[in-house]
Each structure stands twice: as C-alpha cells, then as structure tokens.
Amino acid sequence: MKKVRIGLIGTGYIGRCHAIAYAQAATVFALKGEIVREMVAEVSPAVAKAQAAALGFARWTGDWRELAADPAIDVVDICAPNFLHKEMALEAIRHGKHVYSEKPLALSVADAEEMTRAAAQAGVKTLVGFNYMKNPTSQLAKEIIASGEIGEVVHFYGTHNEDYLASPQAPLDWHCQKALAGLGALGDLGAHIVNMAHYLAGEIREVSGDMQTVIGQRPDAKNPAVLREVENEDQASALLRFANGAHGVIETSRIACGSKMGLTYVVTGTKGAIRYSQERMAELALYQHEDAAGRQGFKTILTGPAHPDYAAFCISAGHGIGFNDQKTVEIRDLINGIAAGDPMWPDFAEGLQVSKVLEAIAVSALERRWIEVQGTSRF
Amino acid sequence: MKKVRIGLIGTGYIGRCHAIAYAQAATVFALKGEIVREMVAEVSPAVAKAQAAALGFARWTGDWRELAADPAIDVVDICAPNFLHKEMALEAIRHGKHVYSEKPLALSVADAEEMTRAAAQAGVKTLVGFNYMKNPTSQLAKEIIASGEIGEVVHFYGTHNEDYLASPQAPLDWHCQKALAGLGALGDLGAHIVNMAHYLAGEIREVSGDMQTVIGQRPDAKNPAVLREVENEDQASALLRFANGAHGVIETSRIACGSKMGLTYVVTGTKGAIRYSQERMAELALYQHEDAAGRQGFKTILTGPAHPDYAAFCISAGHGIGFNDQKTVEIRDLINGIAAGDPMWPDFAEGLQVSKVLEAIAVSALERRWIEVQGTSRF
Amino acid sequence: MKKVRIGLIGTGYIGRCHAIAYAQAATVFALKGEIVREMVAEVSPAVAKAQAAALGFARWTGDWRELAADPAIDVVDICAPNFLHKEMALEAIRHGKHVYSEKPLALSVADAEEMTRAAAQAGVKTLVGFNYMKNPTSQLAKEIIASGEIGEVVHFYGTHNEDYLASPQAPLDWHCQKALAGLGALGDLGAHIVNMAHYLAGEIREVSGDMQTVIGQRPDAKNPAVLREVENEDQASALLRFANGAHGVIETSRIACGSKMGLTYVVTGTKGAIRYSQERMAELALYQHEDAAGRQGFKTILTGPAHPDYAAFCISAGHGIGFNDQKTVEIRDLINGIAAGDPMWPDFAEGLQVSKVLEAIAVSALERRWIEVQGTSRF
Amino acid sequence: MKKVRIGLIGTGYIGRCHAIAYAQAATVFALKGEIVREMVAEVSPAVAKAQAAALGFARWTGDWRELAADPAIDVVDICAPNFLHKEMALEAIRHGKHVYSEKPLALSVADAEEMTRAAAQAGVKTLVGFNYMKNPTSQLAKEIIASGEIGEVVHFYGTHNEDYLASPQAPLDWHCQKALAGLGALGDLGAHIVNMAHYLAGEIREVSGDMQTVIGQRPDAKNPAVLREVENEDQASALLRFANGAHGVIETSRIACGSKMGLTYVVTGTKGAIRYSQERMAELALYQHEDAAGRQGFKTILTGPAHPDYAAFCISAGHGIGFNDQKTVEIRDLINGIAAGDPMWPDFAEGLQVSKVLEAIAVSALERRWIEVQGTSRF
C-alpha cells in the first residue's frame, strides 16, 4: 500500500487533534494509503522532540523549512498560527508537497489566491481543515438537502459563536492582532460557518455585513496593568444571498457568553427544515411539512450506522462520535485523496472562496453597502 | 369600582382570544376597574349577535361605527383586519374613546403617525396588542437584563417565524395583499419581534434589511385553478444597530417550515446571556459567565410565582400559563391603565416606532442600503 | 339553556384555579349548560365574602354545610383539604347534589368506596379533578395509543415529582399529617400519575411498592425551634403489572429537587413510543419504529388545532395553553355532563380505583410483597 | 517505558472499539506504559490475520488458547461473546496474564465468583469494560455527588434501554439464548446501569425485581419461517435500596422503541439533583436547591477541560468526545494500572458485584419477593 508520509507543523490545540486523528485513522477506516507519522516541526528542537514522542511521530525539527524540504515528506500539515499559513504553504508547494492546512487558509483573499494558484500550478493536492462538515450528522444534513427531502432551500441561518474572549479580563492574544490573525471572529470562527453554508446551501453571491469590536482594549498577556488595543472584530453578522436564490444570515462571535461550540444552522426549504447545533453533534432535527395533520414536528435523528461514515466508528446508533473523530474522517479523505486520487474537499479553492466571503463581509461592514462575491467553491 | 366598558370589533382568531381574556381577567387579577363586556361589532348583525352570545358580551352591532359612537363604550378594542385599524382608531378617537388595537398598528408609518397624533391630541389612552412581552417569562428576561445580571447587552438575535403559508398550495389570502395587510411577514409577525427587541434591548437606530417573496403566486381562494400574485414578502431579515451600541439581527418568515410559534430571542451581554423560544413559553435559559469553572452552563428556569404576574394564575412554579393568559396580563394593564391611570404599554407611540423599524427594513431591502430609524418608543 | 349552579368549597390554591376556569369556560367552549357561579364557602364569612367578590361568585357562606344544603346549588365543587372530602361529598350527595371533587378522592379506600357507593345510590353525577389528562397533549397521547400508532403497550414509566418539601427547613404542614392528608407524596401527587397510567395504559392489576420518609422531622410551622414528626412518605416507587400484560413503574416524590411539575411519562409499544413532561405541556414526542432507516427519531409534536380541545383556545398550533386551561376542559366536561348527560370522567369510580392502587402500593411497601389490585376504573 | 502487550480476543462490535482506543490512547494520554498491539485471536486464522492487519496488531491466531498462553502477551483482552468470558479469563489467569474483560463478567454469579477468586489467587490485575463511567461527563457527575453539591443522595433512577430487538421480525440471535448470553436485557444492558448506580450512589443492598419476555418467539436467523423460543427477558425493572439509605429504581429493555443509547440517570439529593442521558453524552444537568428564588433551574453543563480527562482530547469545552473516547480513558486506566500500579476500576470484584445485583433482580422477579444482595464493589 502506498505510504503517505506526514509532516506536521505545529502541535498546539489543533495540531494535537490532528495527531490523535492520525493515530486512530487506520484502525477506524480501511484506508487506501498507509499513514506514516514522519516528522513534527515546532518552535524549538526540544519542543519538537518532546511532541514527536508524545504524538507518535518518528522525527522532529525546530525549523519548519527543514520539514517542508524533507524528501521523506509527502504532505505538509500546517497547524501553525494563521499568519504563517501562506509562507508555509508556498514553501511546501515549492518543494512539491501536498498541503493540508488548517483554516482560515490565509489572512487575506490576495494571499489565499496566491496559495491556490501556486498549488494548482505545482499540481499538488490541497485540503483545508474545516472539520465540521465531516461530522456524519452534517453529512446527513447534506444528504437530506441533496435528496430534496426538504424541497428547495429558501433560507439558511448559521452561527459560529464561542465565548473564549467573553471576559474583558481575558488578555490580548494573537487572535486580537491583525498582523497575526487577520480578521477576528470572522476569520477564526466565521470561516467554519461560511464553509458549512457553502456545503449545505451553495454559493454565496452577495453580502451585507456588520461587525464590531466590543471590548476595545484588553490587558497585555504579560503585564496585565497595561491595556492594549484589540485590532479586529469580536462579533459580526451578515445578510446573505445565495446563487440559488435562497436568502440567509450568518453570525459569528468570540464573546458570545454561553456558546462553547456554537456552530449551529437552520436550513429551511419549501417542504421542510433541518436544525443542528454542534454542541449536540449527534443529533439532527428534521421537519417535513407533508407529514399528516396533527403529526407534524421536528424529529430528532440520532446519527448512526445508517448515516455516512458513522459505522466505521461504532455499529450502534446514538453511541456518539467526538470532535477528533470528525478530524479522522477528514484525514481519511486526505489519505485516500493522495494515495488513490479520491476527491479531496474542501480544497484551497474552497478555502479561497471562504476568504472571499469573509473579506466581502468585512468590506461591506466598513463601507456599509452590499458587496458581490466572485468565484466559486465547486462543492 | 370604576367600570371599563369594552366594545370589541372583530371576533375572529385574535378577537376571540381577547374575549377569553376579558372573561377570566377579573378572576385572575384584582383589577382596579370593572370590566364590562358591553358590545361586539361584526360584519353583520347576525354574526355579531351570535358572537356576543358566545363571548359573553351584552350588545351587538353589524356596524362598527355604531360601536365607536356608542356612549356606553369606554374602550374600542380593534381586532379587525390590519387595513381597517387606522379608520377605526381615528373614528374611536374622534368619539373620545380609549383605543386598544391589535398589531400592526397600521399599514404605514404615515398612518401610524396620524393615529398616534390623533390619540395624543384627544388625550385618550392607547394600547397595542403585542402580547408576547406580557408573558411572565419574557418579563423575567427583562428583569434579568435590567438588573445587570448578564451585564451590558452586546447582541440581540430574534425571530418570529411561522409556517402558515409554507405550502405553495395555501391559497392567497388577505395577508398576501398590500392593500389589506401592508407588509407581509414583517407586518404580521416581524412586528412582534421588533417590539420584543425594543423591550429587551432598547431603541433600534439603524437597519440593513433584506426581504423576499419566495412563493410568487398562489391559488385564488375560491378558484384554485387561477393563480394570483403575492404582493408582499414571505421572509425578511435585518441587521440592527441599537441606540445603546448593541448589534443584532432579526428575522421573520411566514414560510418557515416547522416553526409554529417561532418567536425566539438570544440576548447576549458582557456577563451572560439569555435564550428563549415562545414554543416553550414557560422556560428561560440563563447563562452567567462568572459561574465557577466547570459549573458554567445555561440554566433552564421554569417560570413560577417568583416571577412577574405568574402567581395570579397559579402559585406553583412550572405549572404553565398559556397564550390567552398573556392576553389576560395585557388586559389587566388596559383596565388598570384606564380605571386608575397605571402605565399602559406598549402604546400607540410604540406601535408607531415598531412601524418605523419595519418600514425602514423594507425600504432598506428595496434600496439596498442602511437606513436610520428616527424616534423613540420610550420603554 | 339549562343552568348549572356551582357551589365552590375552598378557594385556596386549586379552588382559585377552578374559579378562573369557571370564569373563562363559557367563552372558550360552546357549553351545553349555563355556568352560574352561585356560592362560595370558606372558613369564615369574611373570607368567603371577599373570595366570592374576587372570584365572581354571587353568594357566600362561612359554613360549607349551608352551601351543601342550598337549593340553588346543582354542583358542589370540593376544593377543601383532603381530610374533608369525604364528609363534604357525603353531605352534598345527601342533598342530591352532583359532586366535583379534587383529588385524592379520600384518605382511604374504605372512604372512597363509601363515597362512590353513596353517589351511585343517590344517582348523582361525579367528577374528580385529576386535571392533567385533560391537556390536549395528553389527549393526543391517548389518541396515538388507542389508534395503534405505537402498537401494543408493553411498558409504562410515569412520575409525578415535585420539590415543594425538598428543603428540610420547610415547616411541617398538613401534607405531612396522616389525619389530614392520608398518604404523603402518593396521595398528593401519585394520584395524578396513577390516573394517567389508567388513562393511557389501562388497569393496574399488581404492584410491588416501596416508600420512604426521608426527612423524618420538620420544624413546627409556628414555632420553628420545635421539631415535629412527619407521618407519611416523602417518596415512593412501584413496579406495576397492567391488566393488558404491560409492565411498568411509577414514582412520586415531594422532595425531588428540581422537579417543579414533574408529571412525566414514557409509554413504549411494540411499534413505537411516546414521551411527555408536564413542564413542557405543549409537546409530545412520538417515535415510530417503522420509519425509514436513517430517519428514525422522536418527533416533537407541538399541540395545535389538529388535536383534541386545543382549537377552542387558539386556532394556531404551538401557541400554548396553560394549567388553568386544562381545568377549563375539565369544567366543560362537568357542565356538559350535568346539563346534557355527556360522559363525565374521571368519576368517583376512577377516584376509588386510584385510591386502591395507591393503598396497594403503600401496603406492599409495608409488607414488602406484591399486592393484587381489585376493581376497575372503566376508562 | 514498560511495555504492556495486548492480546485481543474477538474483533466484532466491541473488539473493534477496543482496537480503535488502543490506536489513539498513547497520543491522547501521556501513558505510564507503552501499548503494544501484539496479537489478535479470531474464529479462524484467516479472519484473525485480516483483522490484525486492519486493527494494527502485529500477530494473529485462530485459536484463542494460543493467545492466552503466548509469553509475549501481558494482558488478555476478552471481547468474545459472553458465554466464553469465564473459560477465557480462567485460562488467561492460569497463564498469569492480566485480564481485561467486556461486561457482563460472566453468565452467573457462581462463574463470576470463580473468576474473581482465580484472579485474586493468581495476583493478576483485572478490569471490566463498563465503559460509560469513564465518560468525563459521568466523572463530573461523580465529582458533584462526592463533593456534596447535591447533598446526600436520596434517590437514583437509572435506565439502560435500547431497541435493537424491538422488531418482532428481528431474528433470534445469541442474545436470546440462555446458554450463550445468560440473562437478556439485564445482562447485556442492565449491567451498565447497575455499575453506574454503584459508581454514583453506592452499594445496592436489596432489590424487588420484575422482568418479562415480551416477544416470546422470533424467526430463526437462517430460516425465518421457523419460530424459535426466546429464552430470556426483553425488559426488566427493579426497586432498589442502597446501603446508604437511598431508594431507587433501575430499568432495562432491549425492545424500548426509540432508545438508541438509553443509558440515563437522575440522581436526587437533599440539596440538588443531576440528570444525564448518554444520547447527549456531553451534557450534565445540575440543579441546586439553594439557588436564589426565581433563579432555580437545571443548568446544562457542557463537558470541557475543567472536567476529568476531557482536556486530553481537546482543550475547548463543548467540542465533544465520542463513544470510543470513553474506551480510551478505560484503556488509559488499564495501561497505567498494569505498568505503574495505578488503581484499576471497575475490576472483577465489581463485575461480580454487578452480577449479584442482576441475579438478585432475576431471582426476585421469579420468586416475587425482595432479595438481599451480599458483598461489596468497593468503589
């Protein structure tokens, strides 16, 4: 079986989740390629060494450029902070590596375009870690919509709200700095719900956005007595018009008290509707208007082996899969895409398209007018 | 005790609910005035007579003008179709009657302004039947916000979605005709959520709206083979900026499959959040960010005697009050307002302010730009 | 139309709810008889007079025997404490009055039998205020079961839990005294769930019960420094065998922290199941096993005009009815039963049958053995 | 680091889950020993070889006795059908292996006692795969109870209901045969809820049980025209008395339409309560009676890094862990127990104690009397 040798850059929050998924993927799925946990890059050789040991990788380096250039690496998996995505991806592409990058793809549309173009020209494969669309429950949502069970989609409401910066005392970190994060809540969280909107309801063609930095200053991380400027938005909302004629709204916030994993959507069609909250990631609520009078209602479907990719984890319904299991599905797509040419989505083109929507929302908010979104994500 | 003699115009859906509330109000509350169910006006003397008998009113008329002019009437209660509100209210005011009108107050801001001015000049009292803000649960929401328990409000998301016109086969009725209904979902349902936004989060200062007629033609009610034009919107959404700096979104739809009583809100503050759905009208979910680590979460509070106006119905928590009970609270406000000068809210000024917001959303949608909203509802 | 003249004994908690329901019933329903709120009896003439005025009754008395004997009374409505039910009912029956009594019917099976026999011999009609089975949602549950939509019932789990005595500091009141209340949680709350079990799943034939007084002593209501003995059970549970072969369990508690209106049931059949909680009294969850693979789940049906007795309150689904509205349905049954001979359930025979089950549970708990239950409630 | 070499017998449903957990455990946790996936035993060499390859094990055998005797195996992990547990465990113990067995430990108390005694005499370590108590959410429940946040436990209600045999057309499989499964729903599912009751509420001292085979005959798996006898119970319930004085009820069913993963519990204390459903395995509802008047309610806590063992999977709250992740926690306990002598629970002694409770329920149901349960699980 063809080996797919992974070079992982970054082993913080999401890099660790990638590593867990790599560890279990071959046991969960009958993969078309062999995962080789080849090398870890971290901020120093010492950290890299320790993390390679902890996460089951064979080699390590304190210099990610070394990893990108290493001939024994097939895929560069970028889990570094957002501001490094572009440089790392371009370097990996230059060395002919496939690239698996965390979202958001880049800090700007221009950067995302450059990366997408470079990958296309180099003929390498790409995947962006949007993650949530890999949950069997959201795959079920897609299946229900695609099959026409709720008719034509007429409305999409989606959120990705969290509260990790809800406290004004939470210190200023890289999320709040334009040079490191680009957009605020939009880039960090909004990227997920835009991707989900694409997946479930199709291309977004126009947006009217609004955004706001609610907590304008935060304590310096090292010296809390010093207040520093927050440079990007805490919350944002946008009216949407989809290519297929549907209307919609998305919202995102990093100060939404009480939302711990507030990716939610309500998709309304001409014949029914679905409702989902990632905090109850094993449940999809389905309403069908043609049900008998007196027997209408939202049905809570617990994801199970009748739904996409669930049975690989457990053959009984309602037993539940977790956050990292979504990543495992994504990594299955990565491995089968690279080893066997299976479709690999969402790719850089989709990452770029998400960036276009996010940037359009930000520009719309600044210029206070509707903005058209160009391009296509080809889901 | 001072008598408050009611003349009820219209005994359809909501008129009947008013009648039920009049019937029980004096038993539920220790009112400051005596409700006299004096007269019913309906489309014909026969209907009026039958309805007066059914609903416990003493007299009847087939001509609402007669009712408006009747010296034995103190309050004209307008439950007639929207397009008649203005004419009826002005006529009642001309005769010096207090006016209790169902929402929306009028088909246009201009009409609502004329009515509000006339009432003010005549010195009569007014009340608009927004209803849902009278639920003890939403009064609790107000209390929590006002007391600062969730800090400063930073975001409001609200909906009033229903699905009464979800089926494309549903015949065209007066709701779909501009001359009879004015706005579509915005006027019929959106009025409620705008009023609730005012109540909970304060004045709305700017809007960017979008709206859509999804089902462009519907069968004629009498001759289903004939398709007729739908003249107003099926669904609408708007970005909001509040006077206090909060941002928000409201949405409304009459084709939202599965939403039967989809008035919902999420109010997010700097220290917490509340969530509510009218379909679970006895529950308010409260989140407080300062709860101990590992003990954070939304707490489902069941409305009970510790909350405003609940104990009048039942002295045990969680036993539940219903739709008509909200009306009963509203009628308590009506009677005490007229008999004893207690504050009567939401009055015509608020009805006008709601119209201004709705019209701003519609204009914004047509002109595709942000619109400023003037005036104040003085909650 | 035939007058039905009501004499109401007791205007505390539940008496007040009766009065509210009397006030609205004729407006909600097209009754077959005319409700006359004739007379109130209370502990003193002064209280009676005040309450008659507050609740819309014409006359009053400080002596309930006067009410029972009054020739202008057709129905004696007993909302007095449990220990008085028997004496009052027998006196009313002696005067040829119909009797509408709150639950539990009596403090013992022997008393309930005497009352039931007396009513039958006198040919008067009876109704027991079990209340919850009148909710359109529970009527829908009955309809679903009766129609075979969930197949044959194989299991019933029901609770009626509240927490009104959860605090050990809550003073000893009449609920805790055998002579005044009879059984504890079983009599006060368990009566409801036994009635509901009868209604939904049929006769109970055998029980194995357990019960417990958790808080053995409580402060005296007037002198909290003095601790007094609690004489009956705080919580009880029982295994059940139904006449139709189904098995089940019921539980009841007055110290169940967090349960405010914890009447709940899960009825499982060979083809499906229903779930209900009175705290969400507008919702019934229905599961049908024959739904397509991947589309199974509990459907949350919001009660609406397609369901029994709902449309009389409101013609839109999901708008909700309240606790007193259930009473209004019960009073509709009372009036139509007395004025027009419509069936009146649950009658004293059912009240007696409930007492038999409760007493069997208590005896079973004491003797630690299965007990057979005789008789039938003839639902 | 000390190696812990695993021999896995059986790779069906739960064996596969074990394998997935072994694959990820070392990446999730900083283990105190090195997991070596040494050998798989299956029903034939061919199956064993294929499964070893699929599940990442080094060697394979078609004869489990070979595995039990293999000197390179430290732990025998028994995921074979129930009726084989005893023979396999005894053989493994005979060879001085540690034993990790799926539940139920054995088909009878006598067998479980023999196994427990043998393990003790041989000085090998044991673990039983009860699984659900390893969920951070249920560990949180334990923490809340142990810390006194809900006071003294006064009541436990628990279920483990599923519907895998709800359809009468479901063919007779080994679950329905006494010789292969022992008890029916009690053994397969009830074992989990008894273990959970032990974990959360302590020792069970007395039971009064009932059980029922609802579908007496099922089609033969190979020849559906032939009906065969179902030999054990489809559903069972029991009243419980705990050593600490609490009362309770447990129920279990394999024909509970709609319950896919129906392990649920409600634990009521003198100062609060908790509620849990495994179908929403990331949520625990906590009620505290001392909350301010008007602010009481069940708080839905989403499991997160503040709770036991969650942060190893993901450092953000509410992101969710899955069924196999529970197993991963269990395997962490296994490895750390064997490699470093950390406590390993639930061990065979607990497996035995669960068997005693289950057998007591079955005997109680047959003899229709309360049965005392001996012994202790020493949680």
DSSP string, D144-183: HHHTTTT-SEEEEEEEEE--TT-STTSPB-GGG-HHHHSS
Take residue D63 and report the two structure tokens written for it.
């004869």
pLDDT digits (tens, 9 = 90+) for D161-204: 999 999 999 999 999 999 999 999 999 999 999 999 999 999 99
Residue C305: count of CB within 10 angstroms of its CB: 17
Q: What pLDDT does residue A159 have?
A: 98
- Decide if A307 and C294 are in contact by the 8 Å CB cutoff: yes
Strand B371-372 relative to strand C3-9, pairing: unpaired
Distance CA(B272)–CA(B151), nearest Å, equals 7
Q: Does A297 touch chain C (CB under 8 A)?
A: yes
Decide: B45 and B52 in contact? Cβ < 8 Å: no
Residue A228, helix vs strand vs coil = strand
* Among B111, B35, B76, residue whose Cα is nearest residue B358: B111
Q: Where are the beta strands (DSSP E) in B183-260?
A: 204-212, 217-219, 227-229, 235-242, 247-253
Of B293, B294, B307, the CB nearest to D294: B307
Instruction: Examine the pLDDT at B378 and tell me if it is beyond 70.
Output: no
Residue D223: count of CB within 10 angstroms of its CB: 10
- Decide if D268 and C251 are in contact by the 8 Å CB cutoff: no
Query: What percentage of chain C carries pLDDT values higher than 70?
Result: 99
Average pLDDT over residues B48-65: 98
Q: Does A163 touch chain B (CB under 8 A)?
A: yes
- Decide if B27 and C23 are in contact by the 8 Å CB cutoff: yes
Strand A98-102 relative to strand A126-129, pairing: parallel
Average pLDDT over residues C65-81: 97
Distance CA(D159)–CA(D179), nearest Å, equals 25
Q: Does A261 touch chain D (CB under 8 A)?
A: yes
pLDDT digits (tens, 9 = 90+) for B246-283: 999 999 999 999 999 999 999 999 999 999 999 999 99
Of B155, B238, B269, the CB nearest to A253: B155
Distance CA(C143)–CA(D374), nearest Å, equals 46
Distance CA(C326)–CA(C310), nearest Å, equals 10
B307: nearest CA partner in chain D: D294
* Among C344, C349, C323, residue whose Cα is nearest residue C116: C349
Average pLDDT over residues B315-336: 96
Minimal C-alpha gap between B263 and chain C (Å): 10
Residues of chain A with pLDDT under 50: none
Instruction: Examine the pLDDT at C368 and tell me if it is beyond 80.
Output: yes
Minimal C-alpha gap between B164 and chain C (Å): 9
- Decide if C239 and D241 are in contact by the 8 Å CB cutoff: no
**Using a CB-CB distance cutoff of 8 angstroms, which residues of chain D are in contact with residue A17?**
314
Burial D284-308 (b: 16+ CB within 10 A, else e): bbbbbbeeeebebbbbbbbbbbbbb
B279: nearest CA partner in chain A: A297
Cis peptide leading into residue A308 (ω within 30°): no
Q: What pLDDT does residue A53 have?
A: 97
Distance CA(D267)–CA(D158), nearest Å, equals 8
Q: What pLDDT does residue C375 have?
A: 82
D31: nearest CA partner in chain A: A54
Residue C378: count of CB within 10 angstroms of its CB: 12
pLDDT digits (tens, 9 = 90+) for B160-207: 999 999 999 999 999 999 999 999 999 999 999 999 999 999 999 999
Q: What pLDDT does residue A375 have?
A: 82
Q: Which chains touch B (3 or more CB pairs under 8 A)?
A: A, C, D
Q: Does A331 touch chain D (CB under 8 A)?
A: no
pLDDT digits (tens, 9 = 90+) for D243-264: 999 999 999 999 999 999 999 9
Task: Output phi, psi for A172, to 5 deg.
Answer: -65, 120
Average pLDDT over residues B226-246: 97
D305: nearest CA partner in chain A: A260
Residue D234, helix vs strand vs coil = coil
**Using a CB-CB distance cutoff of 8 angstroms, which residues of chain A are in contact with residue C297?**
286, 299-302
Distance CA(C2)–CA(C26), nearest Å, equals 13
- Decide if A299 and C301 are in contact by the 8 Å CB cutoff: no
Q: What pLDDT does residue D377 have?
A: 67
- Decide if C322 and B318 are in contact by the 8 Å CB cutoff: no
Distance CA(A304)–CA(A186), nearest Å, equals 32
Distance CA(A164)–CA(A167), nearest Å, equals 8
How far is residue B309 CA from its own chain's centroid?
18
Dihedral, D285, D289, D294, D299 alpha carbons, nearest 10: -10
Q: Where are the beta strands (DSSP E) in chain B?
A: 3-9, 34-41, 59-61, 75-78, 98-102, 126-129, 153-161, 204-212, 217-219, 227-229, 235-242, 247-253, 262-269, 272-277, 283-288, 298-302, 371-372
Cα atoms in the 13 Å half-sphere on the side-chain side of B34: 9
- Decide if C368 and D369 are in contact by the 8 Å CB cutoff: yes
Q: What pLDDT does residue C378 have?
A: 61
Distance CA(D278)–CA(D84), nearest Å, equals 28
Q: Does A301 touch chain C (CB under 8 A)?
A: yes
Among A208, A244, A253, most B C-beta atoms within 10 A, so best to mutate, is A208
Decide: C123 and C116 in contact? Cβ < 8 Å: no
Burial of D357 (0-12, 13-18, 19+ CB in 10 A): buried
Residue B299, helix vs strand vs coil = strand
pLDDT band at D76 (very low <50, low <70, confident <90, very high): very high
Kindly report the average pLDDT of chain B as a whole number: 97
DSSP assignment of A192-215: HHHHHHHHHH--EEEEEEEEE-SS
Q: What pLDDT does residue D55 have?
A: 97
* Among A223, A218, A225, residue whose Cα is nearest residue A173: A218
Decide: C127 and C344 in contact? Cβ < 8 Å: yes
At which residue do the structure tokens 């000068």 appear?
B341
List C-alpha distances in Å: A292 to A206, A289, A296, B7, C290. 38, 8, 6, 40, 16
- Structural domains of chain A in order of their starting residue, each with its CATH number: 3-132 (3.40.50.720), 133-317+348-372 (3.30.360.10)
Distance CA(C32)–CA(C39), nearest Å, equals 21
pLDDT digits (tens, 9 = 90+) for C129-142: 999 999 999 999 99
